[in-house]
Structure 1
């Protein structure tokens, strides 16, 4: 007869056994119970949404250490890509993780509506609900949640102070509503919030880390689409029931609603077709086909038997993108009716623009692009990164005319870029990069000044020419919009005499314009010189001002205009006047500066009752774009004449709009491109492109300095 003691001992031994953790597929099929909806109380079944199975298997694939998930609405995106992975790591694997959300207030809503119902629906998970602290007994969630097994969900949001984000490390990070992580909060001096969240993983080996990023596609510059480059670029495919080819139907393959005369007719006529054979795919056939859904990565192909050919791409970032064809929770009639209703809204109205955004982001899971308007500069990361010449980094062609450098600084890092001119008016960037500012060991402004002083050897050494000899920059600028005292101290030297260590002119630069996010002030150039304003550019895109309290000169420049000049130069044919190219290398070499150059865009949209409106939008780090724009302004100051910008629109936008100012500037810059050698010698800062250009330019700069001092 078994005693009570023996029973308790057996239970203790059983409880003390160590079991191998289940795979994500095993765990989700055995533990996940649907908490609401038409299948409430039932266990999760992949057959209801076969594309979920492809995602689940990807989570189990050790190659992927960063998994990006985006999908149409009503796909189960939040449950599959956020709730389930977090519960798997915390409840099954017992791992703590960083829970990244756009706002701290969102944590309580997500916990109460998404997480708690799933855990309460399953007896095993219910035992792991927090018994004390934040989120326990239905209480409000604050900075962290501690489950009954000791696993922690540490909340990190965009709004938190940087100091509140450190101190907690975990190999796992899960972010939701990814678009909210595209830029840092105003008080943050660190990288964008997603990188800050991932930085908490660095205490662990790369092979131990795992990141989940879930969100709706918004624009190309925002997350999650910003993570597409460098990813597996995977796509879902399923076999056509007719031609048996594995296909990926898009919005062009949902037909029938276009010619409908009513909403009911659109509902009746909407259906999917195969993009290959163009035959109609019925709903029963679509359901059968989706049971064979596969995930194909960039560079891979499938044969009719579903065999994958080609290796996986050499990346650890998975891109999972679910489009409407692969969503069994909605039928083509549902989508076709919405498409028809959208097309009935008059164009160029606020309601139509809102409907188009909703259509792109939620119905078709694609990025929204504003209507194309004349004058919009078409930039792409690949196109910019591919603009290379045949010169190695830090080398100059023999026919270089002018050479300038510009610096931009933060509290922990600084950036620089250089730019030179050639006789035909083209521009080239021989080098760019960044440098550390060890502000954690000194006062910030002291550290910035010391870091700038550390750049003097590079500047004084100059860059070598192909045929021999070197050229030092004719001018050096440093942005003083951030920690201005440090920049003033670095550029101040007596009465603005050329610095002996540099033997060149260094000046503080202050960009003005709506693209300067702190001020959002429109560029306004003084009309006349005076005791403070010492010089004004002929094109009125820059002026020199004496800052009495700092005992320095500042060059104020039209940040909006010169950023447009840089971006326009990155679209012109190589070797054309005004075109910009980088030193030799691969697309990967220049991927960072390409990203900086598109992270700030002047976007033109039609706004009802106002017409065509242009506004600057920043989506991430843009420091190298700032440096290139400052270089461009310095070159114009020294005599370079840029080509005209493309016109924004024939119709003038409302007063106070950026586009209006750009159109005005365009009318002032209609002169043909003039090479540095053609600039009048009596123009301050001009330079020729012959062998003595460097010395001639320095002589003119010295004369100009004396004239304004």
Structure 2
């Protein structure tokens, strides 16, 4: 049998469509045509790339040949979620194969899937065609590809799967638990089998200091770091927008007024032209991604996106937050501004307060147990020991400057109650005017007492219930950092339901690490909200405050090192700071605003002096507490 040299096949039109190589459109173009926004101001419309002109460059870079990893270090309100979902949906359409979406915890994952991911799939005809079914932990596409859903806190969800494309959201919130491995590393290991075909997208706001995972990735691990550079509307100079060039009109120093009157501007460093929000948005629309040090065929690319380039954040909001951070000694305020607005890590510093440094803060013009005329309220912190109580009394000004008025050691509970409820300090330069303690916090540590019948915790709770009178509150330090300096919980609860009893005793929880840092920074010469000591402050007080220092350990983390066991006045002063902190509800700042409103109303009576101010603050605090109790 003779075999012909050539064999001809004729394909049908349907077969030709199947075998024809599929053309992949540019990812940003496909996303704009097929994704329908489900929430926010543009809900119901197609994904608008003109609103966030920096987004197309990131999506297109991720799917360029040779690029395996992309990291985005960005502020909130920059459309990070839309960026992640658009990248995922493009992968679902054009790259058959297993995929993985990871979130910081189970609650965040469930909320993101049910409130964002699935509604976007159902809202688009193209995406509905791709979707087959959803089950807990994954959903399946019509081509058979699985999309795994994982929480960084679950080792089981990080193991036993191999994926081609990964989408990791808010990686700085991936906590490494003891004995359970490093979540980011384990997620990356899931893609090893796919070699050069893998794609990994990491998106996050930087959290904390230079150890931020996303900051390390985009600045060190990536081959390129790209920034959004924009041209000035006046001189045309292309530049990277920097927070140092954000200015305020009329030299306004009130953050609320800056926001209300829209006084924030961006000053071009080349021509001095002041950009409004409209001018900023026009400049951002004409911007482009430019690498600091371009690399030929990069494998990993990082992007930096501060809030300055976001159309959703006004320059006035940015300027107000900048001013607040500059005028505060609170590391938490400065960190939130650096992380949230500038998309940069907060550079913490070691704090080592020596005895001579503490004593140098003495104001020789201020006698002991005397209140400066600028003071508006007194707070007291009490540290409880087995056989005594150490206390510190601070006076506070309207700008949160403070003065040490009194300190010492008490022996009995009656002495404590006499200090909190019965002691009034004279006001310097005002004959006959006195000021009593407005708010006091007492440590509820569990030390034993001499009689060993009740613990100190039980004693503190009992005395605060019986004679706190809205002035003395139990305090407890947190074992780890928290997102606010002061929070509270009601410890008196109903026996069966466990619900808080209305009007029950409230326990205030302190972020000790943050409050000590704040105290030490206020003792520095360059403090924005300085703390001064009365002229007779002795070496005993300085010795207590110099008993600890903040140092960097081998892992690069800042930790408190205790140099001496004699640190009771340090704890007492820290508690007195907490009583005036803005996170205490109601805060001193809020009550001062209420007092200002009361005293500026038209009335026949004169403005209250120091004797009456305490009653006005107490009345305002009572009204605020009643509102909280009714919520």
Q: Quickly name the TM-score band, shorter chain normalised.
A: 0.5 to 0.7
Is this contact kept in 1: 2:77–2:307, CA < 8 A? no
Partner Cα separation in structure 2 for residue 292 and residue 95 of structure 1: 36
Partner Cα separation in structure 2 for residue 261 and residue 99 of structure 1: 44
Partner Cα separation in structure 1 for residue 18 and residue 125 of structure 2: 17
Is 2:343 the counterpart of 1:365?
yes
Match of 1:661 in 2: 562
Match of 1:319 in 2: 302
Match of 2:423 in 1: none
Match of 2:408 in 1: none
Is 2:260 the counterpart of 1:260?
no
CA RMSD of aligned residues (A): 3.7
Match of 1:215 in 2: 204
The offset of 1:245, in angstroms, is 1.9
Aligned runs of 1:202-281 on 2, under 5 Å? Answer: 202-205=192-195, 207-218=196-207, 219-227=209-217, 228-231=219-222, 232-256=224-248, 259-262=251-254, 263-265=256-258, 267-281=261-275
Q: Which of 34, 39, 46 lines up with 2:37 in the alignment?
A: 34
CA 1:279/1:373 → structure 2, altered by over 3 Å: closer, same or farther?
A: farther
CA 1:169/1:659 → structure 2, altered by over 3 Å: closer, same or farther?
A: closer
Match of 2:283 in 1: 289
Q: Which of 148, 157, 163 lines up with 1:170 in the alignment?
A: 163
Partner Cα separation in structure 1 for residue 121 and residue 213 of structure 2: 29
Match of 1:111 in 2: 113
CA 1:610/1:272 → structure 2, altered by over 3 Å: closer, same or farther?
A: closer
Is this contact kept in 2: 1:101–1:158, CA < 8 A? yes
Is 2:107 the counterpart of 1:147?
no
Q: Which of 93, 96, 111 lines up with 1:94 in the alignment?
A: 96
Is this contact kept in 2: 1:103–1:158, CA < 8 A? yes
TM-score (norm 1): 0.47
Match of 1:392 in 2: none
Aligned runs of 1:552-591 on 2, under 5 Å? Answer: none
Match of 2:468 in 1: none
Partner Cα separation in structure 2 for residue 103 and residue 235 of structure 1: 30
Deviation string 1:37-96 (CA, Å, 9 cap, x unpaired) is: 22222112221121113223322432421100121211101111x211112112343332
Aligned runs of 1:124-203 on 2, under 5 Å? Answer: 124-131=126-133, 133-134=134-135, 142-161=136-155, 165-181=158-174, 184-188=176-180, 190=181, 192-203=182-193
The offset of 1:340, in angstroms, is 4.4
Partner Cα separation in structure 2 for residue 106 and residue 57 of structure 1: 27
- What SS class does the counterpart of residue 368 from structure 1 fall into? coil
- What SS class does the counterpart of residue 187 from structure 1 fall into? coil
Partner Cα separation in structure 2 for residue 180 and residue 116 of structure 1: 23
CA 1:650/1:110 → structure 2, altered by over 3 Å: closer, same or farther?
A: same
Aligned runs of 1:312-391 on 2, under 5 Å? Answer: 312=295, 315-340=298-323, 347-348=328-329, 352-370=330-348, 373-374=351-352
- What SS class does the counterpart of residue 69 from structure 1 fall into? strand
Aligned pair count?
Answer: 367
CA 1:280/1:654 → structure 2, altered by over 3 Å: closer, same or farther?
A: closer
Match of 1:417 in 2: none
Match of 1:58 in 2: 61
The offset of 1:650, in angstroms, is 7.0
Where does structure 1 lack aligned partners over 5 or more consecutive residues? 1-8, 135-141, 300-310, 377-603, 614-647, 665-709
Partner Cα separation in structure 1 for residue 295 and residue 559 of structure 2: 46
- What SS class does the counterpart of residue 548 from structure 2 fall into? coil
The offset of 1:115, in angstroms, is 0.7
Is this contact kept in 2: 1:257–1:337, CA < 8 A? no
Is this contact kept in 1: 2:152–2:158, CA < 8 A? no
- What SS class does the counterpart of residue 126 from structure 1 fall into? helix
Partner Cα separation in structure 2 for residue 16 and residue 107 of structure 1: 38
Where does structure 2 lack aligned partners over 5 or more consecutive residues? 1-11, 355-511, 522-542, 551-557, 566-631
CA 1:68/1:663 → structure 2, altered by over 3 Å: closer, same or farther?
A: farther
